[in-house]
Structure 1
Amino acid sequence: MAHFVVVGAGQAGASLVAKLRADGFAGQITLIGAEAATPYQRPPLSKAYLLGEITADRLALRADSFYAEQDITLKLGQPVTVVDAAARTVTVGGETIAYDELALTTGSVPRRLPAAIGGDLAGVHTVRTLADVDAMRDEFVAGRHLVIIGGGYIGLEAAAVAAKLGLIVSVVEMAPRILQRVASAETSAYFRKLHGDHGVAVLEGVGLEQLLGDGRVTTAQLTDGRALRADFVIVGVGILPVTDLAELAGCQLDNGIRTDAHGRTSVPHIWAAGDCASFPWQGGRLRLESVGNAIDQAELVAENMLGAGKEYVAQPWFWSDQYDCKLQIAGLNTGYDQIVTRGPEGEAVSFWYYRGAQLLAVDAMNDPRAYMVGKRLIEMGRSPDPALIADPATNLKALLKA
């Protein structure tokens, strides 16, 4: 009986094993995860879970009973220490497990500040796992001072939670503007104002010089000479793909684990999906950090492990919740040269990214219609005249039928 082993029990791993069973695979399946918790959702960690609006049991992707009912063996709380591609085995907790096909869905880890600048002080946190958030929850007390290093979506989501809970929050962004790597100046301006309206100090174009404190952080010294009181610090300066096992197995790396369009790595019988995998995209390579990609790519890899032979065509989408604003993003804005603004109409506004005449992406704030239409247009390969998008009289849904 064939044995498929999946290493990495996050969104991608859970999606992959569920798809294997749904598509009729009757062999053995083992899902291995370094965390003790059964596979759970990560996006709510920095939002609803941190706010206390949902409990840990509601984070689960599937009921615990699902894995037993589907005859999926879970090995949790122990990392894989050895991958022997020649013998086709993995070692976990001292046990060596043989596989016929192996999928690596090892995800990503947050970048951390070096110990040399105080990154190892108590009170310095990252936001990635359930344990990370549990470790910082007691820090969120009204009136305390929080310094967030990094003005990306994780940092801004944490800032929104802290501000709602009555903390005094400063966001420190080394780049000239928040969200510079991922969004337009218009989107950055929208969120800068949103956070400012909620009392958050957004400090742009300034870096962190040093975190100071005797064992525990007390001060964030900035590169412009300012010193910020810091009762605790959250670091949100990006994530790195987890590739150590792939490297151990001899897989090629290229901004993650390099795969072909089917999800195969360079080593026979080893596949990869999710945050850790880079795949062919429009003549280059792409690695996506999103729930949508983790699900779609993992399900495609499951099909291909069963012989489907399908190529992965990514349909990128993302979201972020901050205060009462829901940001929905469709497409990838890489290479844009024009921003078209639609709105504002009440609380809704959207920014449409064009490269020449081609629609690349849409950022929609409290505007689900703009998001839905933009996403469909991008998937259909259609690019409406920018003047139509900007005209408030244009019926967006009608563009889908044009």
Structure 2
Amino acid sequence: MTTITTTSTTTTTTTTTTTTTTSTTTSTTTTTTTTSTTTSTTTTTSTTTTTTSTTTTTAATTTTTTTTTTTATTSTATSTNTVTTATPATAATASTAATTTTTTITTTTATVGDAAPATTLLLLLLLLLILLLLQLLLPLPPVPLPLPLLPVSLTLPLLLLLLLLLLLLLLQLLLLLLLLLLLLLLLLQLLLLLLLLLQLLLLLLLQQLLLLLLLLILLLLLLRLLLLLLLLLLLLLLLLLLLLLLLLLIIIIIIIIIIILLLLLLLLLLLLLLLPLLLLLLLLLLLLLLLLILLLLQLLLPLPPVSLPLLLLPVSLPLPLLLLLLLLLLLLLLLILLLLLLLLLLLLLLLLLLLLQLFLLLLLLLLLLLLLLLLLLLLLLLLLLLLLLLILQLLLVLLLLLLLLLLLMMLLLMLLLLLLLLLLLLLQNY
């Protein structure tokens, strides 16, 4: 029996040359040449399907099995390898076997995607049993495989089984790759969730930092207000001190004026005291002059004595002596009057001194009151200053606490950034 094997592959042209060599080794008749020409025409039709659209319709009519079973690349290869032999019965059975294999492959490819590995193993065992039954019922010739440096010839069922196993391995590898991709996607999703959580934490920390900054700004504003209040208090103190200084100056000026008036009064009193003394001195001088004049008259012109009825005693005195006595009486009267004036002046001086003392006492009382008021004001201001200092200390303590909180928040931010960097490094490594 003569077998004509023609392989039409879409991958390379070297396989077609090897098939022609195998056909020449198996058949030596002239009919082989005619079949080879027919196979060449079929290859040309298969090539024309890729080039033009009009020839694709003719190719579809000639190769109906290839268009229907183009679910995978291996299924098309198996459909094209089935060529009729010398007997028509065997060709029919081969074509049916090929169609059955293609249908089973499509079912396996449909079930591999969503079935368990146990079902795939069962299907493989069923396929192996079917192929063994076919091998027993229809003994097929072995197919040579061009393995590197190993001339191996296998039967068609084993070859199909190996192809199916390879397909299953490829599918399992694809499934494993898909699972790995899914795991990577899950890891990426987890990392993205972690990044989102870290971003939320960072946003919360930034919000807290903003709140702390606002609190710091408010505290600084309060400090400014307190400083302004301190300045106002100091200005008030200065104003009070200036008022007190003005009052002291006014009091000092009044005291100076009073002292000047007292000195003027004293001068006037002294003048009043000195004037009678001067008058007495003048009177004494006049009396002495009169006495001298009378003595001269008595010497020059001797006058008779003058009788004076003093205390019922008849006294006779010369005229100069009588005048001298009269002058002495006048001087005594003047002295008495001067003494009375001096007493009056001394009483006036005492009254003035008493008035001055009263006035000075009043001034001292006023000064004491002013000093007490100043002391009270100073004490109040000192108390206010102490309160403000305490408030400032409290604010400073609050500021220090806020600064510590800020430092802690910054440390947390640094830790989160370090975690982010570590995660990014891990992502880069993976």
Same fold (TM over 0.5): no
TM-score tier (shorter): under 0.3
Q: Give 1 or 2 for the bigger CA radius of gyration.
A: 2
Higher strand share: 1
Higher helix share: 2
TM-score, normalised via structure 2 length: 0.20
TM-score, normalised via structure 1 length: 0.21
